[in-house]
Structure 1
């Protein structure tokens, strides 16, 4: 019988690195919301942008390695899809941070902080999930909790949109600026659900 060629363990490390960069970026968001000057906002946004760049590098390495490898930990296309889904989480966090900086926003409705809390928790869960990708079928608790958080985020997002439109009815420019940030944060929450759904799909194929 032929021995199976060992699968490349480096992929797990690269995916874990992207997830770690995402968590680091999420941890910067409370400081961004609490910034009291343009200089503070710029510094936090720059830190998040640097993390996004590092995440991009790890994602590109996954894609290059997956293309060149004889064997991958699981389906090659799924591996690339997962890498890109993780990268999109970080992209959306960076977008939200840059919008806060560009629009010089300093005051946010409380529900924006709850969006940030949700992103932070999703980031933590995703980092914890990466080492367990060796047995994707064991990650049901991960994708169930991510989906639960995303559903909660959807409901909060709808309420937040109404609150902003009502509170800033006489200041539509500020309302628009806030809504741009809120939509980017919502996109980040949705991006984590895509990661969870991708992992669930991998688990089904590998089982």
Structure 2
């Protein structure tokens, strides 16, 4: 009698790591703008390129999911994690778009701090993705992401207060708030990814 051994579908882990790598790239691109300045149009174009690559990874996850009989963990969780990573990229892309479309020269208050949080969250997420294979040593990841999200909330609230203190005219406030809110959404999206990872770890342990 001959038995066929089904290989472990490690491709999903590779795709998650690839998607998280794109988030690191996007966060660093925002960091470069904050630290060095530059053309917001070029930023928007480069961010859109990264966003397209992230979309391609997400679509590949879904294609694999639809054609793979054996998956490393629950199919719905795989889909949720892939979508969650993609949502982070979409939010960073939107923030870059607002910076360009609104022709914002001076960065809104709090943006450098928000971007610093995003960069930390992206690095932590990229480091965590390979550990999905064993589901070990992940608790520090989601705990730290939760802490960063709380830091981000504080920055966001202080940014709104600064925007509405009378220094800026109404139109400038509306434009700059778009950027601040989109960066806040990206930080929140990182926490959602960490929550999904935690749920997977609990379910599969």
- The TM-score normalised by the length of structure 1 is 0.93
> Which runs of 5 or more structure 2 residues have no equivalent in the other structure?
none
Q: 1:173 and 1:27 mapped to 2: Cα distance?
A: 29
Match status 1:61 vs 2:57: no
- The TM-score normalised by the length of structure 2 is 0.94
Alignment of 1:22-101 (within 5 A): 22-33=23-34, 34-36=36-38, 40-101=39-100
Q: 1:62 and 1:5 mapped to 2: Cα distance?
A: 19
1:137 to partner: Cα distance: 4.2
1:15 to partner: Cα distance: 0.8
Match of 2:191 among 174, 190, 193: 193
Q: Deviations over 1:103-132 (max 9, x none)?
A: 010112452100000000000001101110
- Aligned residue for 2:165, secondary structure, equals helix
1:178 to partner: Cα distance: 0.5
Q: 1:8 and 1:46 mapped to 2: Cα distance?
A: 34
- 2:203 corresponds to which residue? 205
Q: 1:124 and 1:188 mapped to 2: Cα distance?
A: 14
Whether contact under 8 Å (1:137, 1:206) holds in the other structure is no
1:66 to partner: Cα distance: 1.1
Q: Are the structure 2 counterparts of residues 167 and 27 from structure 1 closer, same or farther at C-alpha, using a change threshold of 3 Å? A: farther
Q: Deviations over 1:74-110 (max 9, x none)?
A: 1111001000000000000000000000001011245
1:63 to partner: Cα distance: 1.0
* Segments ≥4 residues shifted beyond 4 Å: none
1:7 to partner: Cα distance: 2.2
Which has the larger share of helix? 1
1:138 to partner: Cα distance: 2.5
How many residue pairs align between the two structures? Answer: 202
1:135 to partner: Cα distance: 1.9
- 2:113 corresponds to which residue? 114
Q: 1:173 and 1:127 mapped to 2: Cα distance?
A: 37
CA RMSD of aligned residues (A): 1.5
